[in-house]
Amino acid sequence: MRLGCIADDFTGATDVANNLVRAGMRVVQTIGVPRDAASIDADAVVVALKSRTTPASQAREESVQACKWLRSLNPPGQPSQIYFKYCSTFDSTAQGNIGPVTEALMEGLGTSFTIATPAFPDNGRSVFKGHLFVGDVLLSESSMRHHPLTPMTDANLVRVLQAQCRQRVGLVDHGYLRLGAEAVKQRFAELAREGVGIAIVDAIDNQDLLTLGAATADMPLVTAGSGLAMGLPAQWGFEPNDQAQRLPKASGGKAILAGSCSAATQRQTRQFMDAGGAALALDPLQLAQADDPVRDVLAWAQPRLAKGECVMVYSTANAEAVKAVQARLGTQQAGETVERTLAGVAQGLAGLGVRQLIVAGGETSGACVQALNIDRMQIGPQIDPGVPWCHAHSPAACGEGMHLALKSGNFGSDDFFIKAFDVLKDGAPA
């Protein structure tokens, strides 16, 4: 294993894994820290945590545990790097957890200097003079300023990170990136001499990420969004290749579970139905009163699956409908009711022979993977940026392999649900 990643949320883990696979590494993603290290054969291993908004002490503890486990996969002395992956919008609260986790990992790895950059130009996230831009606007002017859990009201990342850290935070500005990897390395050394422990690094295009990859390939620890994963593998001799993304051949029933209410998922469910796809809408208010909603959904799905149709079960609704439901049930109960039902449906569908499953929604994906009792996944070909097909074994599928695509709500083109299954044909990248 050349690289061990610790991701602070579930779909973020898949996102970084996807970039590594595309750059030629064979990647396994685990759900949490596995109890054993049995039979992991991969160039990179990504541990998916759920530590973005947990109390900082818990996030630190889990991340250090993940780091120890990743390091135990290699014999002592074999070179490897740890990559702490967070969101490309640097989602964090005033207390962390990016700063506290970074400092805990630095301590655990015995290193006194690392970098931080959420830059991912392909997805419109660039860092210039230490300021994060989302598309053409500063982070603090983007919709992130209204995020319910991690509102981001300051685009100056040096300031944001410094507020969470004991270490001094500095900046490697774009002028050094333009001069190349050697200049960046020299700047790192200069900052370290000045007592800086963590450097925010500017990056505005993919060339900057490649330069940064060359400058950080030997660091014990890097921290970044998923963008840096594009720049690192080449430094260790990996080249894009079909083999890295090859999964076992797909077969069995096909299903889509959509628990996201994002604008993109609303368009995707609509397009699937407009194309004549079999779809069942879930109403959270009815779910909350039904005896056994999972049984009802499976009874609807079974004859359609038997005919070879792809079935979609969705709770996706517009903001107005969601607000009305939340007013009746409470936000948390509404979310939990839907997640519980879709998770039960995922399990039931696997029992009915579904072996190709798309789940839309970050929290929804977490609930479904948990219900399927999946603890690790092999990462395969990309469907759309940030969303690859994965392969995993689930007891709910009688221990057989399943193909899964776990889509963060806002990812994917409008025809995502229609085109995704074609990517799996022949088990090869499209």
Chain positions contacting ligand ADP, by CB under 6 A: 259-262, 284, 315, 317, 322, 325-326, 334-335, 338-339, 361-364, 408-409
202 vs 339, which CB is nearer to ligand ADP?
339
The least CB distance from residue 32 to ligand ADP, in Å, is 17
Distance of CA 140 to the CA centre of its chain: 23
64 vs 322, which CB is nearer to ligand ADP?
322
The least CB distance from residue 180 to ligand ADP, in Å, is 38
- CA dihedral 6→12→13→16, nearest 10 degrees, is -90
Give me the DSSP letters along 269-324: HHHHHHTT-EEEE--HHHHHH-S-HHHHHHHHHHHHHHTT--EEEE----HHHHHH
261 vs 374, which CB is nearer to ligand ADP?
261
261 vs 350, which CB is nearer to ligand ADP?
261
Whole-number Å distance between alpha carbons of 247 and 268: 25
Residue 166, judged by CB atoms within 10 A of its CB (0-12, 13-18, 19+), counts as: exposed
The least CB distance from residue 86 to ligand ADP, in Å, is 16
Closest CA to 6 of 41, 43, 50: 50
Closest CA to 90 of 38, 21, 162, 37: 162
197 vs 412, which CB is nearer to ligand ADP?
412
The least CB distance from residue 278 to ligand ADP, in Å, is 19
The least CB distance from residue 63 to ligand ADP, in Å, is 21
170 vs 409, which CB is nearer to ligand ADP?
409
Whole-number Å distance between alpha carbons of 172 and 180: 12
- CA dihedral 395→400→403→408, nearest 10 degrees, is 10
The least CB distance from residue 410 to ligand ADP, in Å, is 6
Report which residue's Cβ sits closest to ligand ADP: 409
207 vs 331, which CB is nearer to ligand ADP?
331
* Pairing assessment for the beta strands 387-393 and 401-407 based on DSSP bridges: antiparallel
Neighbours of 253 (CB within 10 A): 21
Q: Which CA distances in Å does 200 have to 58, 116, 157?
A: 24, 5, 7
Beta-carbon-side half-sphere exposure of residue 422 (alpha carbons within 13 Å): 7
88 vs 364, which CB is nearer to ligand ADP?
364
The least CB distance from residue 383 to ligand ADP, in Å, is 16
Helix (H, G, I), strand (E, B), or coil: what is residue 240?
A: coil
231 vs 409, which CB is nearer to ligand ADP?
409
The least CB distance from residue 208 to ligand ADP, in Å, is 28
The least CB distance from residue 411 to ligand ADP, in Å, is 8
Closest CA to 420 of 257, 282, 297, 226: 257
Whole-number Å distance between alpha carbons of 82 and 46: 10
